[in-house]
Structure 1
Amino acid sequence: MIDKKDDTTDTVVIRPRRVVWMSGALALVLLAVFVTVAVLLRSQDTGVIFMVSDQIAMIGVGVMLAGAAMLFATPRVRADRNGVHVRNIGVSRRFTWDEVLAVSFPDGASFARLELPDYEYYSMMAVQAVDREHAVEAVRALRRLHTAAKRD
């Protein structure tokens, strides 16, 4: 999703699309499986004695795994005339446009990236190849902001 905050500040916010749906579906499946297993733990006679605490622990594991699956929905890129803030899974970093040489999306790459000096780059997980046209629009928007910042 590409959001324009308002016309005066020209801020662009980019979030992935498909991975949000996939991680949400995975989280629901994980939670359903672990709740089902927890409910069925005490209904079958397997020779092992399961307690209520075991059932609660199974549900807790399901909640933790579902939460971990939802981490893939957190990447975001927020860019404005001053720079770009990239939030990937667990890591966040801000770049000024002076630090960025280019915004690229190499053939075969999964994510767009910011080209930095000394042949370094920083991947933007919010701009993913699986989002197709959405990713193209996002890269174009970032390139427009980068070009505008370089002119100023």
Structure 2
Amino acid sequence: MTYARDATGPFYHGTRADLSVGALLAPGFASNYQERKLSWIYFSGTLDAAIWGCELAKGEGPERIYIIEPTGAFEDDPNLTDQKFPGNPTQSYRSREPLRITGEVTEWESHSPERLKEMKDFLARLESEGDMRIID
């Protein structure tokens, strides 16, 4: 595992899950984007990436952005790092260890309806083409 040593936080996790401070987010649950269970839990060092996470998450619950702290080792997310964005400008990470919720971001600005539709259409196209794979 390659450790993201230069990442210091704060860290965020965007979702539609209704959780509380102190709860642990753990691998082994369905992805925000697919019904498939993943062996990693994903998070970001940028609020914008967390906003995308909750806005694009499947489900009907309210969009939530949690402030988290990793409880163990983590690495750059290979789904984005050097695959779509050289380096790690989105500060996207993943861990096999739980993430502890330490707070919640309650005020943030959503992406425009046009930008959100554009991204959802893009993801739908990838899915229809069979290209929605997540490197797990």
Question: TM-score when scaled to structure 1?
Answer: 0.21
Q: Which structure has the bigger radius of gyration?
A: 1
Q: Whose RCO is larger (CA < 8 A, sep 6+)? A: 2
Question: TM-score when scaled to structure 2?
Answer: 0.23
